[in-house]
Amino acid sequence: MGMDKIIKKKRWTLKKISAIALSVLFLFFVIYVFLLSDNSSRLNVEKERVTICEVTKDKFQEYIPVTGTAQPIQTFYLDVIDGGRVVEKYVEEGALLKVGDPIVRFENRNLKLQVMNNQSNFLQAESQLRTFQLQTEQNRINRQNELLRLRMELLKAQRNYNLSKRLKEKKLTSDYEFQTAKENYDYYKQSYQLTKIYAEKDSAASIQTLKQVEMSIERMQKQLSLVENQLNNLTVRAPIDGQLTALNAEIGQTISNGYRLGQIDNINSYKIAVSIDEFYISRVQVGQKGKFKFGGKTFYLKIKTVYVQVKEGKFLVDMQFIDKAPEDIRRGQTFHVELELGKLEDAVLVDAGAFYQSTGGQWIFVVDPSGNFATKRKITLGRQNPLKFEVIAGLKPGEKVITSSYENYKEIDKLILN
């Protein structure tokens, strides 16, 4: 019986080799998927459908576009002080006027009657004053005559008393005659003193009364002048040289006190009234400059007045021309003003574009130097104007970016440019 031959078991069977090969392929697949492959979302885009711009370093001026309206630098409103019925209309709206030119005339019968009454009272008071002045002067003369007469009597009585006294000392006259002379002298002496005191007091009282009457008449005269001026104001006249840009009056119309009849504009000088979003209220100050183009020329402005009151999300500023205004400017004309918010400085810049609406300036598509694709990159933007954004971080001069709309690329990480 022959011995059986031992058959050695093969270590690398086809089945085993196949299993190892499949394992290696699976491992490479896993490495490729998780380590080597690009998992970012992609989108094929035609280059002609996007806007590609280069990042630059240049001078940057921050400004905002605002709308301004031409307004006269001086406007005078014709507010009626004393109304009445319109009886005459001298000019029409739009007329060019000089100071003092008549515009309309009112009729006010009550005011006329008041003027007549005041004139009558004033004339009566003047007449009474003249009568009082005559009486006062006559009284003064009478008192002076009375004092003169009493002084003469006093002098005679004094001489008679002195004579009687000397005779009494020599016993050449009786006691009765001496006593009579003395009493007569004392009487005229006291009478003169009392009359003098009364005359002085009466004169002072007359002077005081005369002053009061004169002051009363002066007040009446001022009141009369005021009412007469009111009567003159029934003819409304131009207070300044300018254009009558509004007139609200018709013949026969009754107009009350305080009514705004119209307005006159000084057309020799204009300002630009600008409305600005309240977001910029803390950054707008007197003296800041702006400019606009009109008729092929650039005109420069600066802020003269800032009105901090906010209405419907806007506040107003008045801007005046630095050099000169357009020759054919008209009230209400609209201009697109570039209002400066900062100084001219060096900065890294990227063109303003529709991409900002989708990204808020937080990221942008940067074009690869090959020009074949663009990838998303985080950036930080700073100041801006309608043409440029200031780049604070994320981009360098010379790099190219896509600045057109990202409306269809919001969730895309890479754009393949065909």
**Could you give the CA distance from residue 386 to residue 352 in angstroms, rounded to a whole number?**
7
pLDDT reported for residue 133: 80
Q: How far is 335 from 166, CA to CA, in rounded Å?
A: 115
User: pLDDT band at 114, cuts 50/70/90?
Assistant: confident
Is the pTM for the entire model greater than 0.75? no
Residue 34 is classified by DSSP as I
pLDDT at position 35: 42
Residue 37: predicted pLDDT: 46
Query: What confidence category does residue 28 fall into, taking pLDDT thresholds of 50, 70 and 90?
Result: low
What are the structural domain ranges in the chain?
11-38, 42-62+345-417, 64-73+269-340, 79-104+236-264, 109-232
CATH number of the domain at 109-232, please?
1.10.287.620
Per the listing, tokens 């092929």 go with 296
Residue 245's pLDDT is 87
CB crowding 52-74: b at 16 or more within 10 Å, else e: bbebeeeebbbbbebebebbbbe
Give the pLDDT score at 2.
45
42 vs 373: CA distance, rounded Å? 10
Predicted confidence (pLDDT) per residue in 67-99, tens digit: 999 998 888 899 887 778 889 999 999 899 999
Predicted confidence (pLDDT) at residue 34 exceeds the cutoff of 50: no
Please name which of 334, 330, 304, 332 lies closest in space to residue 318, comparing C-alpha atoms: 304
Contacts (Cβ under 8 Å, ≥6 apart) of 80: 106, 236, 255, 256, 257, 258, 259, 260, 261
What is the mean predicted confidence (pLDDT) over 268-273?
90
Fold of 42-62+345-417: 2.40.420
**Per the structure block, which two tokens stand in for 56?**
């630059």
Best CATH choice for the domain 79-104+236-264 from the list 2.40.50.100, 3.40.640.10, 3.40.605.10, 3.40.50.620? 2.40.50.100
Tokens describing residue 64: 């905002």
Query: Residue 60 and residue 357: Cα distance in Å, rounded?
Result: 22
Please state which architecture CATH assigns to domain 64-73+269-340.
Answer: Beta Barrel (2.40)
pLDDT of 81 reads 79
